[in-house]
Amino acid sequence: MKEITLEFKKIVGEGKALGRHEGKVVFAYGILPGETARVRVTVEKRNFMDGELLEILAPSLHRIAPREDHYLSCSPWQIMDYELQTTTKKGLVEDLLYQMTKELIRLDKFYPAEQLFGYRTKIEYSFADDDGRLAFAFHKRGDYRSKYILEKGCALMSDKTNAIALQILEILNKLALSAADVKTLILRETKTTGERIAALFLKRKDLALPEIKPDGLNGFIAVYSNPLKPVSSADEILSAWGNDFVTEKIGDTVLSCGFDCFFQNNVELFETALSEIRDAAGSGGKLIDLYSGVGAIGLALRDLAGKVYAVESAPNSARYARLNAAQNNAGNFEVICSLSEHTDAALLEGADILALNPPRAGLHQKVTKRIMELLPKKIIYLSCNPITQGRDAAFFLEKYRLTRSAAFDFYPNTPHVETLLVFERE
């Protein structure tokens, strides 16, 4: 593979640096705007190249030393001072929203992170065999076949949770397990109650594990997950002790979350986002919460609406949403286990407030179509992907006006950001 030297000009949507060489655009991680770097070309197409950083020849004043050697896998902006991170994210969000909507949208607020490390509530470690021992690993960015060995875990998770993870790893090594036996280890922790659980995903059903009880753990689940599936799916619970869920307290809302449920990874900023959402919501008779997860947004707004309908497709998340409604005495909160695109049109009719928090793919086109037909009074859209959020917003802006916009740095040291757009019907 050839090597090239060039100056990189800016950061683009996925968090890569962009430069140009002999008429082609070049993308690479680990490089800051204004830096000259030597890169190895890993992919070359007719009009662009992907590169792998080999050496920084002229460093930026904004460059700092990364905290971890595997930073490109988990948080590729560890090399960037935080001031540049926030200005870059704000600019990227506004640029991406303009590209998708053709409307000049300026963020009203940008909320920086309170913690740059140790902020995550969940982490998933892969495994690799390293010198005859089982080790934690992350896949290398852009190369799924190669892995970084993680000797100390990852700094995006708290020190205490990493210490528990390493205790579990030591037990697995004493049991002489290898990467052929184990798939991943998922750990969850809460920031307000100090609870921690772990779920070990196994590639074999016939493994009989002893009770794994490291200090500080509230529960452990051993799960069979089909090794042919790339994701860590819980196909069968093999054994468990203690809790298979954790409970967080956000404001005056108590939220329990199963080991395999979605929950926001930055609780401090999620609480800030919920405050913005409450302020934007006002009050209404009928509130619909699509893609509701365990009910966090709908329950945070339960006192502002006469009736809240939460729609969630994952059965276990829907189960926890019902449990959360009960433990918060939310008698006006009803959970519907369904894909949002399969929801009966009658549910959206007459909606005063529609809350949306879809996955990175954004809204299903059937959901967008239904919204534009039934036109709820107010749309509150929280997203982890400004590209798909902007795509969906382009439709809303045909019949709605944008009344509020904010971004929250849920994921410092990474290119990712959470954005909130609020629309009111014209």
Q: Are residues 236 and 345 in the same domain?
A: no
**Domain C-terminal end among 178, 212, 247:** 247
pLDDT for residue 14 is more than 90: no
pLDDT classification of 1: cutoffs 50, 70, 90 = confident
Q: Are residues 419 and 274 in the same domain?
A: yes
Q: Are residues 191 and 213 in the same domain?
A: yes
pLDDT, one tens digit per residue, over 252-303 is 999 999 999 999 999 999 999 999 999 999 998 999 999 999 999 999 999 9
Q: Are residues 138 and 187 in the same domain?
A: yes
Domain presence at residue 205: yes
Residues 56, 60, 62, 64: what is their CA dihedral angle, to the nearest 10 degrees?
Answer: 30
Number of domains in the chain: 3
Domain presence at residue 74: no
Residue 332: which domain range?
A: 87-114+266-425
pLDDT classification of 141: cutoffs 50, 70, 90 = confident
Q: Are residues 330 and 294 in the same domain?
A: yes
**Domain C-terminal end among 247, 274, 298:** 247
Counted residue by residue, the chain has a size of 426
pLDDT classification of 145: cutoffs 50, 70, 90 = confident
288 three-state secondary structure: strand
Domain presence at residue 277: yes
CATH code: domain of residue 361: 3.40.50.150
243-245-250 Cα angle (round to 5):
130
The answer to whether 64 and 39 are in contact (CB under 8 A) is no
pLDDT classification of 210: cutoffs 50, 70, 90 = very high
Q: Are residues 42 and 92 in the same domain?
A: no
pLDDT, one tens digit per residue, over 225-263 is 999 998 999 999 999 999 999 999 999 999 999 999 999
pLDDT, one tens digit per residue, over 81-123 is 999 999 999 999 999 999 999 999 999 999 999 999 999 999 9
263 Cα distance to chain centroid: 9
Q: Are residues 417 and 271 in the same domain?
A: yes
pLDDT for residue 143 is more than 80: no
CATH code: domain of residue 55: 2.40.50.140
CATH code: domain of residue 165: 2.40.50.1070
Q: Are residues 203 and 156 in the same domain?
A: yes
What token pair was written down for 296?
């966090």
b/e sequence 145-164, b meaning 16+ C-beta within 10 Å: eebbebeebbbbbbeebbeb
Q: Are residues 371 and 236 in the same domain?
A: no
Domain presence at residue 253: no
Q: Are residues 22 and 134 in the same domain?
A: no
Q: Are residues 284 and 215 in the same domain?
A: no
Domain presence at residue 69: no
Confidence (pTM): 0.95
Domain presence at residue 100: yes
239-244-249 Cα angle (round to 5):
170
Domain presence at residue 196: yes
pLDDT for residue 144 is more than 80: no
Q: Are residues 94 and 146 in the same domain?
A: no
pLDDT, one tens digit per residue, over 357-383 is 999 999 999 999 999 999 999 999 999
CA distance 260 to 244: 9
